[in-house]
Chain A
């Protein structure tokens, strides 16, 4: 039995001839009234006397033409596109690409800054130094069908603006990686159309906030530096290189690789001129680098892969230091040697830097802090204990799932935000699968377990993603996508921070063991110190078949730098002896993840 059968007996469809005739008369009278009003220049109410005016309602009516249609993809003979070169790409479905691109500024002359003086010293409280690196990159890709594999005979030129907003003090940095949705500049080669259509090149805006000094989470710690770190930076070249190596968490003896990273690191702009000059002087003595000064510029060229060594992933890199302060303001990176596209030669990625002083930063999700698990301040359950989940630095309060609001439940304002930000086609495909995490006049956050993005290479190295979070942010009058991320959903451990857990390779489990040895790496910043004494077992379960552990780290609450932390040993005591073949799982993941046996 269908709903229509059931509902056929409900109510009375009582609208007979007389009712039709009376309504018709009113409508015709109203049409006449409207015409008369229009003719006299007034607003037509179009409503007959004694009837309630409908003008207010009419103003909100949307015609069918306002309904945006979901775009259909033409897959062709190729079933999928593989992740392409350099960055982790995402498939954003039918996302509209133009909505944010128009807002990406064009780099111009630096404003509000004296480029001959130290940059940070020119900031007033509340101001930020905006370092915007305007990249034009070459992108290509690989098509993978069921029985075929083909390198795209094409490349795209894609513009991406990567911005750092450096605060006047040791407050939070805001990073736009990229700040705007990537912009297609041009397409080249026979497969160019297919490459464009598959949109693997398209990067959504990714705005992050990272504390330069203090507790933070995530993998952004290596991107920012504290004032103390800058102040303590040695004046000699070797000391500087070692300091950057520590920041990059790289081993000693990799000076050449460290310098290659330094050359494209905006942090170089924050050093004193004398430090940059010292560094350039040292590079002149390193065989891998060629330093040429001319016309007020110093050009550093890092050699090709052959010169750098066998198998070295280094690529030819050129950086131009300009002006009296020797600021690295432009350059290029030639990745053509491993971007095999067939006929069209792939040009180098080029970049220029735009510097300015600004007083505001783009919107971003709040940096998760141990003291702020993400619940509302007036939430009576705040601080009681675990109450939700984490997905890509975004807290998902449990109450969001207790009283679910789906995307399809959003009001007109919410729908307008989705449309304006260009995510409507994605959401429209399955509005019942997107859960609203928060919706204010500035921010709309949704998450889902139906993935529409493809994980990039780096993600594949970790826990496979099972959820996706999207954050929209309203900057002025315009809504835009601020974050689209995949995650492996993890439990919120309340007062404990999440950590990376592995079995200790030095103590692999053996039959009969009564202790299992783990290595626990604190994700939060702790100045590179171990979490000794702060690793805690939230829960553990062992039955001779499976061992599931939920392990977290109690934060210090002290300010800390973020060079990366060493693993900390942790021993789990079994109540019965270890059985060979037992599976070990990290139960901080909602879908517990099996830990590889050492």
Chain B
């Protein structure tokens, strides 16, 4: 299978070849963007992401086979121009999940181990909303892009240790509402 790197290299001579890169990654990038800022502006951002990538394709590090982290990095930066929209979108998500279903003493109910994702979100909504933007962005990338810590480091242009510490901090904060998250143990493939 042709690598992303080879496609980009070819597109330097044959620009239309870049369309293949779009076909490979537009859907996953679009899904991520849509979750972050909403479907209504996702199309714009995805288009801008790939156009920016096309203009900057000469800067791509061709030793890397996958362009996914690079494309996500561009998308993340473009989305920062849509902070107000993202904030409104996030508020609507948290609001939609409703108030946390907690006991009077603030402890999670007895069904913790059987909790499904939706129930967890209801409990964690306020804590998620209170996360610093950069931590929330790291969490979103980790959770929704399926990328490894190393790939996230490329996306965010930070050391991989920063990715790890941000996610550990997120776990700590969210773990106050949901103790099962406090430990990094059990993370699936996060640090591959």
Asked whether B35 is an interface residue with its Cβ less than 8 Å from the other chain, the reply is yes
Cα-based distance from A62 to B78 in the complex (angstroms): 13
Cα-based distance from A425 to B5 in the complex (angstroms): 27
Tell me the count of chain B residues lying within 8 A, CB to CB, of chain A: 78
Interchain residue pairs with CB less than 8 A apart (10): A3-B170, A10-B35, A13-B34, A27-B50, A30-B54, A52-B81, A57-B52, A64-B154, A65-B60, A67-B154
In the complex, which of the residues B51, B77, B158, B178 contacts A60, with contact meaning CB atoms closer than 8 Å? B77
Which residues of chain B (10-60) have a CB below 8 Å from chain A? 15-16, 18-19, 22-23, 26-27, 30-36, 39, 42-44, 46-48, 50-52, 54-56, 59-60
Cα-based distance from A345 to B27 in the complex (angstroms): 68
Looking at chain B's contact residues, the main secondary structure is helix
Looking at chain A's contact residues, the main secondary structure is helix
Contact, CB under 8 Å: B42 / A54: no
Task: List 7 other contacts, CB 8 Å, given A3-B174, A11-B35, A15-B46.
Answer: A19-B34, A46-B55, A51-B44, A52-B44, A57-B52, A57-B77, A427-B159
**What's the minimum C-beta distance from A160 to chain B, rounded to whole angstroms?**
31
Nearest B residue to A427, CB-CB: B159
B-side contacts of A22, CB under 8 Å:
43
Tell me the count of chain A residues lying within 8 A, CB to CB, of chain B: 55
Contact, CB under 8 Å: B47 / A61: no
Contact, CB under 8 Å: A20 / B178: no
Contact, CB under 8 Å: A65 / B61: yes
- In the complex, identify which listed stretch (A92-100, A429-437, A477-485, A526-534) lies at the interface while the others stay far away: A429-437
Nearest A residue to B33, CB-CB: A15
Which residues of chain B (136-192) have a CB below 8 Å from chain A? 139-140, 142-144, 146, 153-154, 157-159, 161-162, 165-167, 169-171, 174, 178, 180-181, 186-188, 190
In the complex, which of the residues A4, A23, A65 contacts B188, with contact meaning CB atoms closer than 8 Å? A4
**What's the minimum C-beta distance from A69 to chain B, rounded to whole angstroms?**
10
A-side contacts of B121, CB under 8 Å:
6-7, 9-10
In the complex, which of the residues A13, A51, A432 contacts B47, with contact meaning CB atoms closer than 8 Å? A51
A-side contacts of B59, CB under 8 Å:
61, 63, 65
Asked whether B118 is an interface residue with its Cβ less than 8 Å from the other chain, the reply is yes
Asked whether A250 is an interface residue with its Cβ less than 8 Å from the other chain, the reply is no
A-side contacts of B15, CB under 8 Å:
31, 34-35
Nearest first, the 5 A-B pairs at minimum CB distance are A15-B30, A7-B143, A65-B61, A13-B31, A432-B165
Asked whether A48 is an interface residue with its Cβ less than 8 Å from the other chain, the reply is yes
Cα-based distance from A34 to B18 in the complex (angstroms): 13
Cα-based distance from A51 to B23 in the complex (angstroms): 21
